[in-house]
Structure 1
């Protein structure tokens, strides 16, 4: 397992410091910097990590949607978005906004801060504003990168946003990104990104924490299922199983005595 430094959870800077980033994300779409970042990160994703997608057609090409992937690596943002034909917005831990280069990219690229270790209501308001504008929001159900080497436990945040917004949620399994840090040893893992069918929940204006956790659990259970299948069968095995399943359903739908 790669050596991963302990997380720093609390940002001492006041919420007011980040107000301009939230205002920007609520009122502006990503600009040319997003396109440049995508051009720069796509070749290594495809060539070195051999990133491939399964089920990318499940992501709506327009309208509000939440992408909900597991999270092992800082490259997961790029892996999850490389096959999505729209600009993907995401929360980033506020500590990253200390770096002027990253801050510039986030400012123009549509990322917004979340103050981890705090009840950051502003981050939720920004997420809802992006969805209200018809955006594609990436949100990690685990709330951050898993440090255990395995999938973590879902947090209530994605459940709250799914319930209060009522928009579809696409569960996403990213397999292989745990080993991304091994690039220093010229070892590049093969990454597979599988998108599940959208899940939609009936809108609830003020869901309880228990309701949020239940919905987050339902979303992440689908992520677990896809991840486990990729772990067991590999990319080709999952694709084969999906094709066989589609073929079987088609056979059942044909009139008696008629075949493909």
Structure 2
């Protein structure tokens, strides 16, 4: 029996590594870069609650796997386990299933006891915290596709307080995180995840009046810490303006690492984007907002993303404002063509098909990327098998051993990685080349706009 238990544990760990590898491919193939700021915020031991925002469905979950060297246990809705493959993945990842009130009627029809599911989830969370594990959760209770953080549910706070009320030996450390998408549903955009300052629940309770230590007060404190690491705006228009300012200022302040510089600029940029009250915007905002919009429009015209700090850094390089941000030399791109051509020859038929099918099937905006991951992943795997089978047939006809097709199957993901990386570098080279073709007066106007942003950014 002991050997059987060891075998099951080993199989689960192996499958977990496979899930991590597959999840990494999904992120890598849709987003150009996923950067984590504050990676060391999660303590290496003791119970931890990782709490963050949930604006983009499945990508939020996958990105959350890479915030700490410690494996997190997710709290997820039970509805996602209806798919056999998803259920197997969630079991391997030790996900804690919960039921939503809006699913109650459907679950009742299927003979599922909602109260029993949620009680089991509470017991599992308490056991995880008592064992000193990391539990990751989205306190909004679901995907929240609006510019602001939604109203947080009190269920998470109740679980934490129940753990401490049970005479727990260890405190619970809260680590807030925020997924900051520059263009959440645009292929080859960037994703930034920011981890905030950890804080202990017991220390917070000790600092509160006796009547301010309940689940509602703790939920409010949790919301404050999450808002500190996310991007919030009153409207979509204000959010776009804010992110244009962030991208331009980050590229000017840290052209070699613009994505990493972006989080610290969000509060000031938010204030600048919202500065339209009273008698009108301040004289400073009158200059900053149009300058940022002009630079963002130039980035879009050159083929980039107007809210991307990385693309803004390339724009500044092309304009001669800063030497950093240079693309890969054309000779290096040329030398890499043979390997990239193999990767694209294999993947070009399937990747656009995955995106097109997801866009067609999506019932809401947040379904687009999730659809590219699942069932898009199944389609890619099926395509790889077809390619390997065709290669085996070709090898057999040529008198070679068909087993060489197994080697091809194993290396196909790496060819995909290389092809996408090569495409990104080619896109950067073309991006800069287009800007070099613009007229001198137009480039001078953009340099003037950059100077306006620089004057504001250096004062922050």
Cα distance in 1 for residues equivalent to 2:36 and 2:52: 13
The residue that corresponds to 2:225 in the other structure is: 222
Q: Please tell me whether residue 199 in structure 1 is matched to residue 202 in structure 2.
A: no
Q: Answer yes or no: is the 8 Å Cα contact 1:68–1:171 preserved in 2.
A: yes
Where do residues 137-156 of structure 1 align in structure 2 (5 Å cutoff)? 137-156=135-154
The structure whose residues are more often helix, as a share, is: 2
Between 1 and 2, higher relative CO (CA 8 Å, sep ≥ 6) is seen in 1
The residue that corresponds to 2:110 in the other structure is: none
Residue 47 of structure 1: CA displacement?
Answer: 5.5
Q: Answer yes or no: is the 8 Å Cα contact 1:65–1:169 preserved in 2.
A: yes
Change (3 A) 1:240 1:179: closer
Contiguous gaps of at least 5 residues in structure 2: 1-8, 102-113, 164-170, 233-241, 248-258, 266-460
1:95 to 70, 79, 83: 79
Cα distance in 2 for residues equivalent to 1:161 and 1:201: 12
1:161 to 159, 169, 175: 159
Q: Please tell me whether residue 233 in structure 1 is matched to residue 246 in structure 2.
A: yes
Cα distance in 2 for residues equivalent to 1:87 and 1:225: 24
Cα distance in 2 for residues equivalent to 1:238 and 1:163: 35
Q: Answer yes or no: is the 8 Å Cα contact 1:76–1:177 preserved in 2.
A: no
Cα distance in 1 for residues equivalent to 2:23 and 2:79: 22
Q: Answer yes or no: is the 8 Å Cα contact 2:196–2:228 preserved in 1.
A: no
Cα distance in 2 for residues equivalent to 1:198 and 1:147: 26
Q: Answer yes or no: is the 8 Å Cα contact 2:183–2:190 preserved in 1.
A: no
Q: Which string of whole-angstrom CA distances, capped at 9 and with x for unpartnered residues, describes residues 156-177 of structure 1?
A: 0221233233410100011118
Q: Which string of whole-angstrom CA distances, capped at 9 and with x for unpartnered residues, describes residues 93-133 of structure 1?
A: 11111111111111222112101115522211111111112
Q: Answer yes or no: is the 8 Å Cα contact 1:177–1:191 preserved in 2.
A: yes
Q: Please tell me whether residue 76 in structure 1 is matched to residue 76 in structure 2.
A: no
The residue that corresponds to 1:8 in the other structure is: none
Question: TM-score scaled to structure 1, two decimals?
Answer: 0.70
Change (3 A) 1:178 1:210: farther
Residue 32 of structure 1: CA displacement?
Answer: 2.1
Change (3 A) 1:202 1:46: same
The residue that corresponds to 1:176 in the other structure is: 181
The residue that corresponds to 1:256 in the other structure is: none
Change (3 A) 1:196 1:75: same
Change (3 A) 1:239 1:156: closer
The residue that corresponds to 2:47 in the other structure is: 64
Coordinate RMSD, CA, aligned = 3.0
Cα distance in 2 for residues equivalent to 1:146 and 1:177: 16
What SS does structure 2 have at the residue aligned with 1:191?
strand
Q: Answer yes or no: is the 8 Å Cα contact 2:75–2:136 preserved in 1.
A: yes
Q: Which string of whole-angstrom CA distances, capped at 9 and with x for unpartnered residues, describes residues 153-206 of structure 1?
A: 1110221233233410100011118724x4xxxx233111111111211298xx
Contiguous gaps of at least 5 residues in structure 1: 1-27, 242-260
The residue that corresponds to 1:108 in the other structure is: 92
Residue 44 of structure 1: CA displacement?
Answer: 3.6
Cα distance in 1 for residues equivalent to 2:17 and 2:211: 39
Where do residues 244-255 of structure 1 align in structure 2 (5 Å cutoff)? none
Change (3 A) 1:91 1:142: same
Cα distance in 2 for residues equivalent to 1:208 and 1:103: 42
Q: Answer yes or no: is the 8 Å Cα contact 1:156–1:209 preserved in 2.
A: no
Q: Please tell me whether residue 132 in structure 1 is matched to residue 116 in structure 2.
A: no
Answer with 66-75 or 232-241: which moved more. 232-241
What SS does structure 1 have at the residue aligned with 2:54?
coil
Residue 236 of structure 1: CA displacement?
Answer: 3.7
Cα distance in 1 for residues equivalent to 2:216 and 2:36: 28
What SS does structure 2 have at the residue aligned with 1:31?
helix
